[in-house]
Amino acid sequence: MKPENKTQAFKFFLLGISEDSSLQPFLFGLFLFMYLVTVLGNLLIILATITDPRLHTPMYLFLSNLSFADICFTSTSIPKMLVNIHTQSKVIPYKGCITQVSFFIVFGVLDNFLLAVMAYDRLVAICHPLQYMVIMNCRLCGSLVLGCWITSALNSLLQTLMALRLSFCADVEIPHFMCELYQLVLLACSDTFANDVVIYFAAMLLVVGPLAGILYSYAKIVSAIRAISSARGKYKAFSTCVSHLSVVSLFYCTVLGVYLSSSVTQNSQATVRASVMYSMVTPMLNPFIYSLRNKDIVRGLRRLFRAKP
Ligand SMILES: *[C@@H]1O[C@H](CO)[C@@H](O)[C@H](O)[C@H]1NC(C)=O
């Protein structure tokens, strides 16, 4: 296994968000705070959903799966970043780097799929309200969630195996606070054509596919809502989608923003700062978006805190 030996001879470094040493305590505090809020907020959503039988509906089961995915998603990168800031070290072991890459892909893609499944759930609820419970039965929900998990895991396995083939000819300095597949491919010195092809097709299938599904669902939802005659009925139907629509817009706008900013500016630091948005801010805000406007979740949370041990 020559490439493996070659790779392990070199060190991997995460350059982080800023090299400015006076900024480090502030960054540490900020990211620790954001991480704790993310874990706590999403954990509360999961606990509220589990403990309140009235929240055992497809929408909230999908939501608590999304919360779980968000906790895992942030946990792949933030704790390591905090440790590195705290110990003033930039080193990450090769195995750690590959692990970050693979889990980041699993949970990123899973988020994406769950948002699409939730859009389908809203489509059924608004376009076929009478058959909703029949169509979205336990078996379908279970299979949808399982399908999301399996697809994300298989894709990540493929991408990780491809990434393991890369070899590096010098110390690897990743201008980011986590190991990202794209950066590894850029910094590799072996031929990366096959990796580029696999990444490109996976992105087309697994990101554009669910996004198309979401857009299709909302096109149907909008036309169904327009067909409702009473203003009150319109508002009621629409209000059940607002939270989901906000989360979807936040997720895709931040990803698109990062993509556009990286193609407009050559400044990789700016891109990394923008990627804080989708890797930290979106998962942090999801529980708030869902609970602030939502009477069911608020009731579930009250119940959670009133529950006697
Ligand atoms: C995820 O969804 C499945 C199927 O709807 C449900 O049974 C399960 O409890 C959910 N998991 C979490 C962590 O909420």
Residue whose CA is at the smallest distance from ligand 1 atom 9: 61
**Which residues of the chain, if any, have pLDDT below 50?**
1-3, 5
Q: Measuring CA to CA, which residue among 152, 44, 29, 32 is closest to residue 102?
A: 152
User: Does 6 map to a domain?
Assistant: no
Structure tokens at 56: 């055992």
Q: Is the distance from CB of 6 to CB of 256 less than 8 angstroms? A: no
Residue 64, pLDDT score? 93
User: Does 125 map to a domain?
Assistant: yes
Query: Is the CB of residue 68 below 6 angstroms from any atom belonging to ligand 1?
Result: yes
| CA 222 to ligand 1 centroid distance, Å | 28
Residue 231, pLDDT score? 85
Residue with tokens 């493996």: 4
Residue 266, pLDDT score? 65
- The atom number, within ligand 1, closest to the CA of 58 reads 5
User: Does 220 map to a domain?
Assistant: yes
Q: Which domain holds residue 61?
A: 11-304
User: Does 59 map to a domain?
Assistant: yes
Residue whose CA is at the smallest distance from ligand 1 atom 8: 61
Residue 288, pLDDT score? 87
| CA 141 to ligand 1 centroid distance, Å | 9
Residue 1, pLDDT score? 43
Residue 265, pLDDT score? 67
Query: Is the CB of residue 65 below 6 angstroms from any atom belonging to ligand 1?
Result: yes
| CA 266 to ligand 1 centroid distance, Å | 42
Strand partners, 14: 174
| CA 109 to ligand 1 centroid distance, Å | 17
Residue with tokens 């399908």: 147
User: Does 309 map to a domain?
Assistant: no
User: Does 66 map to a domain?
Assistant: yes
Residue 159, pLDDT score? 93
Structure tokens at 36: 């704790």
Q: Which of 56, 64, 73 to mutate to test the pocket of ligand 1 (most atoms within 8 A of CB)?
A: 64
Structure tokens at 281: 């801010």
57-79 pLDDT, tens per residue? 898 999 999 999 999 999 999 99
Q: At 192, which CATH number? A: 1.20.1070.10
**Number of Cα atoms under 13 Å in the Cβ half of residue 229:** 0
Residue whose CA is at the smallest distance from ligand 1 atom 13: 65
User: Does 5 map to a domain?
Assistant: no
- The atom number, within ligand 1, closest to the CA of 49 reads 14
User: Does 68 map to a domain?
Assistant: yes
Question: What sign does the CA torsion over 26, 27, 28, 30 have?
Answer: positive
| CA 212 to ligand 1 centroid distance, Å | 24
Q: Report how many domains make up the chain.
A: 1
